[in-house]
């Protein structure tokens, strides 16, 4: 949870701060965006770019729906259904991205009150439980995908297994990334959870 | 058996397992032990929980808010609010509240408000010699207006979970949001009076008038849009072209500073509360509009900036929706096991008076808000509390406002107060100091909460007018 707060704060700090001159109100604050040219794109992994593409395809389709309905007054029938399916894809692909970056929302106040060693034991248990959940879900997502081969979408004649296939891949990547993150935590001797214990507060 | 479901969820949650996984994991365990349905029902339900058209509003409300922050629109709103109320005593405090109200009409989360506008405001207030406590307190309190005034992510999630009309929820939030802003401005005025704050701008008719000129243009545009859309038979493409062309022409000719950004709340709130746009359509329209402003009009949005903002949006969307996915199987299980009915009868056995039940629920939600993130709390608690509200005859739309306002106050309370973390970082003070700074500002917020809880007419007035 504190991770997200960090990001928000940092995002804010990227914005040039506005200074106002008290006695010359007519000039007002300088208006500049945080058009960051120093954005580092190398922090993004392959699943992030997949999510990125899915997200923008989704945006274009939802916009198309809006445009055809309001402006042309004749909405495209397939846009709503495909948009809903793409949202599912963005969710499970993006969830993999969030596993790698370890940004899924969790509750961490318990660790403030725990001794360091116990905290490490429990945070390792959390890492293991996470892997188990993702692995089990991967397996069942695969089973649903197999069943859904014969279920067709409503407007377009495609099998529903396309969607569940992406959910399956999403869970698979989540499992692999969770293992990777768990190994990193083990080597570092702690995770974001135990860091809370060390610092004694959430910041 | 249901004890397994609830207990395993709580244990996983407190251990620090991500909320979405705690919900899904407890459900998996329950279904496995119960043995009545195949385990793949868990994954199937999780996917089904995200398969909803209203949820599509979420990514685009987030994206629109972030684009406004990165393309300098936030600064324009700040400058506008400064011209409008900066000359009052305790000026920047008022600017803070007014800016938040306007930004609330464009963005759906309190954290975006605190991280974007709050950042500018705190810096300016510190530069003008306000103490850090006052700056952080008023910024934190005013950022909680964001999700009360539409658009609002928490209200979208509530609407989806409670099967309530999101349009009505949005209409319901408008008056309480403005009331909150009013109480906060009274609070600022009181501070300014007792502490002898001066004004931050020398009053000049030219500056004050310029703000009103912008408001007049916005109102005129709104009127023109309404007339063209509802009272003429012109083809929609032409109406659309006329409005967009007209707005940009006005902006170009009169060189207005905040006119185009100020149109966003007009389009969003006006369109959604009157039911012209669905929230999803309004969200995509706002996104497209913010991109046009950032890329073509103000030219402050770069490719790399856009990629970064999209990545963050996609990630946040996935984080929120995975919780919704987990909550949909979890909520389904606790509803089918009828444990929610047991909880409702238990509460009603303590007291059956609606006002007392509401008081209990409010206290409970405030405590939950201290420990839990907003979206997670809504998704988990809606299936639990809604049957109870149904039994004492509280409208689901009314309860949505009560719940979200409670959880917004939770953003300002330790140990888990997301807005506090952001502001402590922005103002470079300790978390404890930020907590103490926000404490006095909880009084007007809790006052509003009481009013929202016990005066349902204030909340339901606009939905009744717009959705007869």
Tell me the sheet residues that pair with B199: B89
* Chain A interface mutation, best of B75, B197, B290, highest count of A Cβ atoms under 10 Å: B75
Q: Is pLDDT above 70 for B183?
A: yes
Tell me the sheet residues that pair with A152: A159
Q: Is pLDDT above 60 for B138?
A: yes
Question: A26-30, B2-6, B396-400: which has the highest mean pLDDT?
Answer: B396-400
What six digits make up the tokens of B344? Answer: 């409702």
Contact B305 A110 (CB under 8 A): no
Give the pLDDT confidence score for residue A1 in this predicted structure. 39
Q: Is pLDDT above 70 for B259?
A: yes
Tell me the C-alpha distance between B111 and B257, whole Å. 25
Give the pLDDT confidence score for residue B182 in this predicted structure. 96
Give the pLDDT confidence score for residue A75 in this predicted structure. 72
**Model confidence at A197, in pLDDT bands (50, 70, 90)?**
low
Q: Do residues A123 and B27 lie in contact, with contact meaning Cβ atoms separated by under 8 Å?
A: no
Average pLDDT, integer, range B213-231: 88
Q: Is pLDDT above 80 for A25?
A: no
Q: Do residues B442 and B419 lie in contact, with contact meaning Cβ atoms separated by under 8 Å?
A: no
**Coil, strand or helix at A159:** strand
Average pLDDT, integer, range B209-219: 92
Report the predicted TM-score, pTM, of the whole model to 2 decimal places: 0.88
Q: What's the full length of chain B, in residues? A: 468
Query: Which position has the higher pLDDT, B297 or A53?
Result: A53
Tell me the C-alpha distance between B107 and B81, whole Å. 17
Query: Which position has the higher pLDDT, A40 or A93?
Result: A93
Tell me the C-alpha distance between A96 and A108, whole Å. 21
- Percent of chain B having pLDDT more than 70? 100
Contact B16 A108 (CB under 8 A): yes
Give the pLDDT confidence score for residue A53 in this predicted structure. 96
| Mean pLDDT lowest among B116-125, B190-199, B238-247 | B238-247
Tell me how many degrees the CA angle B151-B278-B385 measures, rounded to the nearest 5. Answer: 65
> B372 to chain A: which residues are within 8 Å by CB?
107
Give the pLDDT confidence score for residue A167 in this predicted structure. 95
B11 to chain A, any CB pair closer than 8 A? The answer is no
**Model confidence at A29, in pLDDT bands (50, 70, 90)?**
very low
Q: Which residue has the tokens 């700090």?
A: A13
Considering only the beta carbons, identify the residue of A5, A136, A163 that sits closest to B421: A5
What six digits make up the tokens of A11? Answer: 């995002």
Tell me the sheet residues that pair with A159: A152
Nearest chain A CA: its distance from B455 CA (Å): 34
- Burial-class residue B245 by CB neighbours within 10 Å (0-12, 13-18, 19+): exposed
B297 to chain A, any CB pair closer than 8 A? The answer is no
Tell me the C-alpha distance between A201 and B300, whole Å. 37
Tell me the pLDDT tens digit for each residue of B40-89: 899 999 999 999 889 999 999 999 888 888 888 888 999 999 999 999 99
Neighbours of B4 (CB within 10 A): 14
Tell me the sheet residues that pair with B205: none
Q: Is pLDDT above 60 for A19?
A: no
B251 to chain A, any CB pair closer than 8 A? The answer is no
User: How many CB pairs below 8 A link A and B?
Assistant: 322
Tell me how many degrees the CA angle B385-B387-B389 measures, rounded to the nearest 5. Answer: 70
Considering only the beta carbons, identify the residue of A83, A88, A109 that sits closest to B416: A109
Tell me the pLDDT tens digit for each residue of A101-159: 988 988 887 888 888 888 899 999 999 999 999 999 999 999 999 998 888 888 888 88
Q: How would you label A36-70 residue by residue, b for 16+ Cβ within 10 Å and e otherwise?
A: beebeeeebeebbebbbebbeebbebbbbbbbebb
Give the pLDDT confidence score for residue A11 in this predicted structure. 43
Write a three-state SS string for chain B: CHHHHHHHHHHHHHHCCCHHHHHHHHHHHHHHHHCCCCCHHHHHHHHHHHCCCHHHHHHHHHHHHHHHHHCCHHHHHHHHHHHHHCCCECHHHHHHHHHHHHHHCCCCCHHHHHHCHHHHHHHHHHHCCCCHHHHHHHHHHHHCCCCCCCCCHHHHHHHHHHCCCHHHHHHHHHHHHHHHHHHHHHHHHHHHHHHCCCECCCCCHHHHHHHHHHHHHHHHHHHHHHHHHHHCCCCHHHHHHHHHHHHHHHHHHHCCCCHHHHHHHHHHHHHHHCCCCCHHHHHHHHHHHHHHHHHHHCCCCCHHHHHHHHHHHHHHHHHHHHHHHHHHHHHHHHHHCCHHHHHHHHHHHHCCCHHHHHHHHHHHHHHHHHHCCHHHHHHHHHHHHHHHHHHCCCCHHHHHHHHHHHHHHHCCCCCCCHHHHHHHHHHCCCHHHHHHHHHHHHHHHHHHHHHHHHCHHHHHHHHHHHCC
Tell me how many degrees the CA angle B383-B386-B388 measures, rounded to the nearest 5. Answer: 120
Considering only the beta carbons, identify the residue of B16, B51, B305 that sits closest to A39: B305
What six digits make up the tokens of B231? Answer: 């009272």
Tell me the C-alpha distance between B215 and A36, whole Å. 31
B118 to chain A, any CB pair closer than 8 A? The answer is yes
**Coil, strand or helix at A152:** strand
Closest-approach residue (CA) in chain B for A73: B236
**Model confidence at A16, in pLDDT bands (50, 70, 90)?**
very low
What six digits make up the tokens of B27? Answer: 């459900």
Q: Is pLDDT above 80 for A201?
A: no
Considering only the beta carbons, identify the residue of B15, B44, B204 that sits closest to A125: B15
Considering only the beta carbons, identify the residue of A9, A32, A73 that sits closest to B72: A32
Closest-approach residue (CA) in chain B for A48: B311
Contact B308 A107 (CB under 8 A): no
Q: Is pLDDT above 60 for A18?
A: no
Q: Do residues A31 and A20 lie in contact, with contact meaning Cβ atoms separated by under 8 Å?
A: no
Nearest chain A CA: its distance from B197 CA (Å): 14
Q: CB under 8 Å to B240, separation ≥6 — which residues?
A: A70, A71
Query: What's the Cα-to-Cα distance from A57 to each of A9, A63, A156, B236, rounded to whole Å?
Result: 29, 10, 17, 26
> A203 to chain B: which residues are within 8 Å by CB?
421, 424-425, 430-431
B199 to chain A, any CB pair closer than 8 A? The answer is no
Considering only the beta carbons, identify the residue of B40, B115, B322 that sits closest to A95: B322
Tell me the pLDDT tens digit for each residue of B77-90: 999 999 999 999 98
Q: Is pLDDT above 60 for B364?
A: yes
What six digits make up the tokens of B182? Answer: 């009013």
Q: Do residues B305 and A36 lie in contact, with contact meaning Cβ atoms separated by under 8 Å?
A: yes
Query: What's the Cα-to-Cα distance from B92 to each of A112, B95, B98, B287, rounded to whole Å?
Result: 37, 5, 10, 29
DSSP label of A16: P
B12 to chain A, any CB pair closer than 8 A? The answer is yes
Q: CB under 8 Å to B150, separation ≥6 — which residues?
A: B105, B170, B171, B173, B174, B268, B269, B272, B273
Taking the CA of residue B421 as centre, how many other CA atoms within 13 Å lie in the half-sphere pointing to its CB? 23
**Coil, strand or helix at A40:** coil
DSSP label of A12: H
Give the pLDDT confidence score for residue B398 in this predicted structure. 96
Contact A35 B39 (CB under 8 A): no
Tell me the pLDDT tens digit for each residue of B449-462: 999 999 999 999 99
Q: Is pLDDT above 90 for A45?
A: no
**Model confidence at A198, in pLDDT bands (50, 70, 90)?**
low
Mean model confidence pLDDT for chain B: 90
Tell me the sheet residues that pair with B89: B199
Q: How far apart are the first and last CA of chain A?
A: 10
Mean model confidence pLDDT for chain A: 79
Q: What's the full length of chain A, in residues? A: 203
Query: What's the Cα-to-Cα distance from B17 to each of A124, A173, A189, B23, B313, rounded to whole Å?
Result: 11, 18, 18, 10, 23
DSSP label of A145: H
Q: What is the largest CA-CA distance in chain B?
A: 75
Sign of CA pseudo-dihedral B157, B160, B166, B172: negative
Contact B123 A18 (CB under 8 A): yes
Sign of CA pseudo-dihedral B374, B379, B382, B385: negative
Nearest chain A CA: its distance from B362 CA (Å): 21
Considering only the beta carbons, identify the residue of A9, A19, A164 that sits closest to B425: A9
Query: What's the Cα-to-Cα distance from B301 to each of A33, B202, B247, B284, rounded to whole Å?
Result: 7, 33, 20, 18
Give the pLDDT confidence score for residue A12 in this predicted structure. 39
Nearest chain B CA: its distance from A186 CA (Å): 16
Q: Do residues B51 and A166 lie in contact, with contact meaning Cβ atoms separated by under 8 Å?
A: no
**Model confidence at A199, in pLDDT bands (50, 70, 90)?**
low
What six digits make up the tokens of A7? Answer: 């990001």
Give the pLDDT confidence score for residue A20 in this predicted structure. 35
């Amino acid at each position: 949870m504190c991770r997200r707060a960090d990001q928000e704060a940092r995002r804010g700090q990227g914005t040039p701060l506005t200074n106002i001159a008290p006695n010359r109100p007519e000039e007002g604050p300088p208006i500049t965006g945080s058009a960051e040219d120093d954005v580092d794109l190398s922090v993004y992994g392959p699943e992030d770019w997949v999510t990125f593409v899915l997200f923008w395809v989704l945006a274009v389709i939802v916009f198309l729906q809006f445009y055809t309905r309001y402006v042309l007054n004749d909405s495209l029938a397939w846009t709503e259904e495909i948009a809903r399916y793409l949202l599912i894809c963005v969710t499970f692909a993006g969830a993999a991205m969030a596993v790698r970056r370890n940004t899924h929302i969790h509750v961490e106040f318990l660790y403030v009150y725990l001794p360091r060693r116990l905290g490490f034991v429990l945070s390792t248990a959390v890492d293991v439980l996470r892997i188990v959940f993702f692995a089990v879900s991967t397996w069942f997502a695969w089973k649903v995908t197999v069943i859904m081969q014969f279920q067709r979408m409503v407007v377009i004649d495609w099998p529903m297994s396309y969607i569940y296939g992406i959910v399956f891949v999403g869970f698979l990547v989540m499992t692999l990334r969770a293992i990777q993150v768990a190994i990193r935590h083990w080597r570092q001797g702690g995770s974001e959870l135990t860091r809370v214990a060390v610092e004694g507060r959430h910041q | 058996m249901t004890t397994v479901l609830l207990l395993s969820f709580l244990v996983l949650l407190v251990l620090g397992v991500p909320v979405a996984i705690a919900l899904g994991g407890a459900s998996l365990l329950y279904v496995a032990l119960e043995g009545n349905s195949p385990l793949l029902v868990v994954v199937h339900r999780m996917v089904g929980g995200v398969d909803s058209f209203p949820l599509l509003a979420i990514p685009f409300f987030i994206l629109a808010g972030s684009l406004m922050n990165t393309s300098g629109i936030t600064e324009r709103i700040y400058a506008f609010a400064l011209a409008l109320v900066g000359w009052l005593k305790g000026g920047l405090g008022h600017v803070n509240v007014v800016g938040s109200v306007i930004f609330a009409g464009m963005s759906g989360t309190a954290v975006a408000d605190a991280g974007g506008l709050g950042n500018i405001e705190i810096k300016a207030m510190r530069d003008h010699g306000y103490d850090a406590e006052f700056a952080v307190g008023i910024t934190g309190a005013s950022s909680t207006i964001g999700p009360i005034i539409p658009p609002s992510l928490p209200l979208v999630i509530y609407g989806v979970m409670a099967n309530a009309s999101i349009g009505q929820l949005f209409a319901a939030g408008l008056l309480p949001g403005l009331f909150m802003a009013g109480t906060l401005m009274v609070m600022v005025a009181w501070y300014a009076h007792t502490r002898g704050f001066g004004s931050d701008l020398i009053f000049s008719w030219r500056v004050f008038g310029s703000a009103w000129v912008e408001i007049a243009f916005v109102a005129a545009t709104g009127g023109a849009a309404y007339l063209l859309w509802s009272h003429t038979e012109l083809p929609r493409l032409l109406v659309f072209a006329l409005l967009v062309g007209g707005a940009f022409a006005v902006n170009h000719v009169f060189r207005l500073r905040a006119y185009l950004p100020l149109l966003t709340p007009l389009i969003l709130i006006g369109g959604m509360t009157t039911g012209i746009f669905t929230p999803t359509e309004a969200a995509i329209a706002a996104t497209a509009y913010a991109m046009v402003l950032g890329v073509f009009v103000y030219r402050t949005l770069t490719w790399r900036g856009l990629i970064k903002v999209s990545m963050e949006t996609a990630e946040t969307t996935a984080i929120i929706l995975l919780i919704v996915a987990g909550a949909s199987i979890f909520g389904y299980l606790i509803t089918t096991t009828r444990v929610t009915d047991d909880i409702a009868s238990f509460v009603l056995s303590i007291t059956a008076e609606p006002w007392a039940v509401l008081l209990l629920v409010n206290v409970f939600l405030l405590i939950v808000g201290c420990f839990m993130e907003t979206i997670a709390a809504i998704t988990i608690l809606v299936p639990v509390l809604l049957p109870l509200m149904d039994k004492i005859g509280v409208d689901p739309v009314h309860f949505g406002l009560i719940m979200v306002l409670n959880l917004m106050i939770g953003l300002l309370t330790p140990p888990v107060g997301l807005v506090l973390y952001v502001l402590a970082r922005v103002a470079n003070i300790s978390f404890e100091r930020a907590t103490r700074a926000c404490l006095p500002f909880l009084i007007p917020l809790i006052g509003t909460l009481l009013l929202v809880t016990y005066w349902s007419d204030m909340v339901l007035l606009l939905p009744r007018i717009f959705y007869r």
